[in-house]
């Protein structure tokens, strides 16, 4: 039974191993016209949360079996819009702070009066209403964004591709002889259209990088095999630019939980940067290692580097370093923004280390898979 709003009477769940607490809270709520369910332990409570999707859950921290902190953590995974309120007779500032970090909305120490219970419940219901409204607005925004993306893809990209194809026909001489001066002008038009298409494609990719949707496609995958696939695919581009591209060999099988296609886009982007912003006879090296509970991937190049003043901004949308070294290198300023979104969707981090005129290393840390 799923509830998406508070139009029907709110449902409360009390998870507490004291029968007296469950009965007294249920009696107060029944008097006020609210529906109540109870559970005497964390395991039963979580089963009821999953089944009933209550509006507010009151959780005792000290219970046999699954404790209150673990219950809080699991509720946030089941539905982050459920309001959790901790009730306990062993309250401390430290436990209150910890419970808030795990998603608790408020904290009610035992013993409490019916009026105190009513007061905190009233605030909890208002919080629940605001969360549901925010979720509704978020979904509405996503729908509008998807429609807009579809419109951009069809109304802008499709005609530009058609123009590009016509230019190829003309430049190939299949529509008649083209004068040298005309050919140069058409080639410049073709370059500009390619840049515009690249911008549109990057923008579409950026707009579609939805963290929640990416996380729904997580599977255990061997990150070493994925990187070897990407490097093999990109070798012709690297060789064309005189770049030595390789993955440092490792005998370990390093597994992360992730979406293969978005991780492919992430590392393809970083390796492409390493090739494009490198020097002739330069190198791009990808190294992997386990570090505590993470897999760390370093993509290093021997290229032109990034000025210190630009490093804080390189992951911002449409930001590009302004220097004579990068003036002729095509780009939209969205690639690293997309990379950061993908990494954050995988609950990881991405950082950069760079020495101007010498090297750049992007460091991606992803949680180890199981």
52 touches 37 (CB < 8 A): yes
pLDDT at 206: 64
User: Of the ranges 84-93, 120-129, 243-252, 350-359, which is most confident?
Assistant: 120-129
pLDDT at 159 over 70: yes
The pTM of the whole model exceeds 0.85 = no
In the chain, pLDDT over 70 holds for what percent of residues? 88
Residue 3 pLDDT level (bands cut at 50, 70, 90): very low
Task: Output the average pLDDT for the chain.
Answer: 85
Among 10, 184, 28, 169, residue whose Cα is nearest residue 83 = 10
Distance of CA 340 to the CA centre of its chain: 8
SS3 (DSSP) at 315: coil
Average pLDDT in the 168-180 region?
86
Residue partners of 342: CB distance under 8 A and separation at least 6: 209, 214, 262, 263, 265, 266
CA 229/CA 35 separation, integer angstroms? 56
pLDDT at 77: 86
Among 73, 103, 70, 101, residue whose Cα is nearest residue 85 = 103
pLDDT at 252: 81
How does DSSP assign 187-250, residue by residue? HHHHHHHHHHHHHHHHHHHHHH--HHHHHTT-EEEEHHHHHHHHHHHHHHHHHHTT-EEEEPP-
Domain parsing of the chain, residue ranges: 11-112, 143-208, 211-367
pLDDT at 126: 95
CA 195/CA 202 separation, integer angstroms? 10
CA 61/CA 67 separation, integer angstroms? 6
pLDDT at 44: 94
Average pLDDT in the 78-95 region?
82
83-88 and 56-60 as β-strands: parallel, antiparallel, unpaired?
parallel
CA 94/CA 151 separation, integer angstroms? 51
Average pLDDT in the 197-201 region?
75
pLDDT at 347 over 70: yes
Range from 4-13, 26-35, 93-102, 320-329 carrying the lowest mean pLDDT? 320-329
Residue 303 Cα distances to 64, 271, 280, 312, 327, angstroms: 59, 12, 9, 19, 15
Radius of gyration of the chain (CA): 28
- Where b means 16+ CB within 10 Å and e means fewer, 33-50 reads ebbbbbbbbbbebbebbe
pLDDT at 365: 95
pLDDT in tens, 300-346: 999 888 888 888 888 887 777 776 666 556 666 678 888 898 898 89
pLDDT at 13 over 90: yes
pLDDT at 5 over 60: no
Residue partners of 38: CB distance under 8 A and separation at least 6: 13, 14, 15, 16, 22, 23, 26
CA 188/CA 182 separation, integer angstroms? 10
Higher pLDDT, 318 or 57: 57
Average pLDDT in the 197-216 region?
69
Average pLDDT in the 288-294 region?
90
User: Of the ranges 28-32, 140-144, 157-161, which is most confident?
Assistant: 28-32
Residue 63 pLDDT level (bands cut at 50, 70, 90): confident
Higher pLDDT, 142 or 225: 225
State the fold for domain 211-367: Heat Shock Protein 90 (3.30.565)
Superfamily of chain region 11-112:
Response regulator (3.40.50.2300)
Range from 59-68, 99-108, 154-163 carrying the lowest mean pLDDT? 154-163
pLDDT at 359 over 80: yes
pLDDT at 1 over 50: no
Ramachandran quadrant class, 84 (left: phi over 0; alpha: psi -120 to 50; beta: rest): beta
DSSP 3-state percent helix, strand, coil across the chain (nearest 5): 50, 20, 30
């Amino acid at each position: 039974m799923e509830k998406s709003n508070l139009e029907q009477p709110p449902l409360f769940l009390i998870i507490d191993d004291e029968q007296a607490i469950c009965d007294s809270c249920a009696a107060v709520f029944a008097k006020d016209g609210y529906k109540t369910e109870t559970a005497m332990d964390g395991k039963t409570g979580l089963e009821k949360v999953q089944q009933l999707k209550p509006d507010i859950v009151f959780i005792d921290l000290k219970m046999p079996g699954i404790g209150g902190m673990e219950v809080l953590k699991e509720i946030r995974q089941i539905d982050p819009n459920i309001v959790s309120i901790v009730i306990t007779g062993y309250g401390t500032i430290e436990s209150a702070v910890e419970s808030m970090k795990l998603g608790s909305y408020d904290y009610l120490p035992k013993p409490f009066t019916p009026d105190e219970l009513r007061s905190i419940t009233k605030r909890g219901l208002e919080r629940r209403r605001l969360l549901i409204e925010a979720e509704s607005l978020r979904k509405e925004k996503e729908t509008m964004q998807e429609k807009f993306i579809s419109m951009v893809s069809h109304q802008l990209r499709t005609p530009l591709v058609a123009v590009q194809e016509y230019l190829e026909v003309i430049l190939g001489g299949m529509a008649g002889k083209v004068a040298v001066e005309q050919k140069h002008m058409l080639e410049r038009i073709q370059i500009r259209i390619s840049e515009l298409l690249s911008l549109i494609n990057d923008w579409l990719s950026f707009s579609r990088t939805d963290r929640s949707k990416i996380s729904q496609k997580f599977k255990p995958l061997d990150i070493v095999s994925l990187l070897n696939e990407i490097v093999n695919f990109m070798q012709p581009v690297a060789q064309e630019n005189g770049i030595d591209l390789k993955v440092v060999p490792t005998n370990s099988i390093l597994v992360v939980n992730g979406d293969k296609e978005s991780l492919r886009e992430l590392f393809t982007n970083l390796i492409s940067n390493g090739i494009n912003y490198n020097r002739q006879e330069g190198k791009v090296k990808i190294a992997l290692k386990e570090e505590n509970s993470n897999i760390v991937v370093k993509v290093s190049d021997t290229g032109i580097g990034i000025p210190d003043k630009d490093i804080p901004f390189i992951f911002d949308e449409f930001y590009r370093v302004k220097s004579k070294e990068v003036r002729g290198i095509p780009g939209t300023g969205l690639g690293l923004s997309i990379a950061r979104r993908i990494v954050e969707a995988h609950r990881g981090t991405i950082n950069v280390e760079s020495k101007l005129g010498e090297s750049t290393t992007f460091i991606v840390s992803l949680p180890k898979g199981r």
